[in-house]
Structure 1
């Protein structure tokens, strides 16, 4: 039981570390990397890729709550979904690189084992997917991917002789963030290397849009 509880707490540590929702920032984009939501180690995460990930979640939310009022409530609860999703996509690469540099690997069997334990706690596979969707904005098809992320975090922390809530762990991610030279499109803020986290840009000429759902996408 102790092991299950510990696994449940640690499984969500990076999801919980995602920055809190704030108004969506729109700007003209990053001229050096047109069409990019972010550039990590010279490789682009395109705006189209980001929007596809967000659309996955919105489609899953719509399927889970066909009632229009409930769907609107779900949208309101995840108003920062685009920024949170980009945070996850970038942090995934940071963590994966830090784990690789430390020779930390995660097997399919380990992912399956973690999922089996979480499904038992949640009351089944569907219940687990519902929890991940409602509480963490993760589409059902991405649950295993997220569990790999969590396992990499746990195993990297163990390799460092710490845990995922301690400064030593986040220092390692910070060092990797700096190595990867992360550049975010100003529309989505900036990347705080010290915290390995997205931050809202403090740019006076950037226009704030108070709602994500239905807001026009600008170039």
Structure 2
């Protein structure tokens, strides 16, 4: 466990450094590109697939398949629910969506990728999986973690103010489902480490508004580090 936490601290430090270089004059990199390239050079994650982070305030109802909305925010809800076995009624996706750009890949094609079955994190939808979603405040999502070996690991959640929380869990071999509660507006990012292997990150942009009734209220980014 100590080794995992040390690795996480090193990775987070590297991400902070890479983020500092994104967008500097003369570099010509898009947001997140330097970070992705640095991790890929270390053997972590996948090559940069392009695309700018979506503008907050441009809520798209196509994300409605990825969340359930209760209508209010509750302090009694857990931000992260521990892993459980997948629901027996869960559908095999037809499509998976990568990165901010939501690059679509047919699931049958994704199964041929050499990274298939490795530590990977998704947001579970009705017929698709995605690595990015926009949801209203107070909504709940189901995360899907795949890990060939499973075992004890840590899920890390980065909140809109760059505060990192570590959640120690036991992951199932194959797939595990975890609950995520959108407890505050802004950008949330999550990833996990099992058996010393770091997963990709998923991004959840949380808005404060009522779905289908009122336009979204975009919150300005907080000061300090922001990924």
TM-score > 0.5 by shorter chain = no
Higher strand share: 2
Taking structure 2 as the reference length, the TM-score comes to: 0.25
Q: Which has the higher contact order (CA 8 A, sep 6+)?
A: 1
Larger Rg belongs to? 1
TM-score, normalised on structure 1?
0.26
More helix by share: 1
